[in-house]
Amino acid sequence: MQKKQFALSVKVVILNDAGQCLLIRRPSDCQTNPGQWEFPGGKAELNERFEPALLRETLEETGLNISLTRVAGAAEYELSALKIAYIIMEGQPDSGEVILSEEHTDFAWVNSGEILSFDLAEQFVPFVKSYFKLG
Q: Where are the domains of the chain?
A: 5-131
Could you report the per-residue pLDDT of 53-69, keeping only the tens digit for each?
999 999 999 999 999 99
- Options 3.50.30.30, 3.90.79.10, 3.30.70.1230, 3.30.2010.10; CATH for 5-131 is 3.90.79.10
Q: What is the pLDDT of residues 99-134, one digit of tens each?
A: 999 999 999 999 999 999 999 999 999 999 999 999
What pLDDT, on the 0 to 100 scale, is given for residue 66?
A: 97
Query: pTM above 0.85?
Result: yes
Note the pLDDT of residue 1: 59
pLDDT tens, 16-37?
A: 999 999 999 999 998 889 999 9
* Beta strand 5-14 pairing with 106-110: unpaired
User: Would strands 37-38 and 21-25 be described as parallel, antiparallel, or unpaired?
Assistant: antiparallel
